[in-house]
Amino acid sequence: MDFTRFVPIFHPFANYGMRFLYHFMFKLDMQGREHAPKTGPLLIIINHTHFLDPLIPTSYLRPDVFPMAKIDLFEGKWKWMFDAYGAFPVRRGEADMQAVKHAFRLLRAGHAVLMAPEGTRAKTGGLQQAHEGVGLIASRACVPILPVALWGARDMVKGMKSLNLVTVHVRMRPPMIVQPRETKFTREDISNITDEIMCSLARMLPPECRGVYSEVEGFAPRYLVPYHGMESKASGKSEVMPLTN
């Protein structure tokens, strides 16, 4: 498949439909949307407390956002919808290299990939320990990383029942990129990169939503640098860093 031209036909129609429905489901308070690159490879990182959390960035940011979703969603009666939208499955709780390679192919083609590094919804609302797949992709793909923090959707049903729509808050900060280096990143480096990405996300959340990443006041990244003004190594298909064993 030629990923350079692949944007599912269903994608823009689904996005329009979701944006229309949101008006009846909640009030949207979105800030920082101007930080999202409109073209080129992009790794979008979100926290996950509600089923709507991945759908809001995919429907508002740009038409070629491909979400990574748990494999269970592709085994039920709604499989056709996720396939038609361009979502791709990941096996939770294990190193799913098929999902990682698919993410690389999409990034290499210049698309945006959305990930929820926690792997599953946080029932308490606070951030959980992230899986290292996000650090692996970020360190090897050398593409801009856009953290998107969301909160408020957990109260949506309660608000709809009382006919008092809740506000869903969305915050974005300027994209970052992993500072390239000549030597290969170690497993410890990848773990640290993962934590830095999650701390960047946690800083935009209210303190009660930061969970295991609550100690962010003195956060000073060592691996991540601002993307603005830097040339991404993934600007062309042939320049993306290969996935090695």
CA atoms within 13 A on the CB side of 94: 9
Q: Which domains does the chain have, with CATH numbers?
A: 10-216 (3.40.1130.10)
Q: Report the pLDDT value the prediction gives residue 237, as an integer from 0 to 100.
A: 39
φ/ψ of residue 225, rounded to 5: -130, 155
Bridge-partner residues for 226, per DSSP?
176
pLDDT of residue 16: 92
Q: What mean pLDDT value characterizes the chain?
A: 86
pLDDT at 156: 77
Per-residue pLDDT of the chain (245 residues; tens, 9 = 90+): 555 556 777 888 899 999 999 998 899 999 999 999 999 999 999 999 988 899 999 999 998 999 998 887 788 777 888 888 888 988 876 668 899 999 999 999 999 999 999 988 888 889 999 999 999 999 999 999 999 999 998 887 676 666 788 999 999 999 999 998 888 999 999 999 999 999 999 999 999 999 999 998 878 899 999 997 444 444 433 334 433 33
Write down the pTM of the prediction: 0.88
Choose among 78, 85, 89: nearest CA to 10. Answer: 85
Q: How far is CA 157 from CA 25, 124, 160, 167, in A?
A: 8, 16, 5, 12
Residue 78: the pLDDT is 75
DSSP codes of every residue in 32-93: -GGGS-SSS-EEEEE--SSTTTTHHHHHHS-TTEEEEEEGGGGSSTTHHHHHHHT-EEE-TT
Q: Following CA atoms 132, 135, 137, 141 in sequence, which dihedral angle do they give, to the nearest 10 degrees?
A: -170
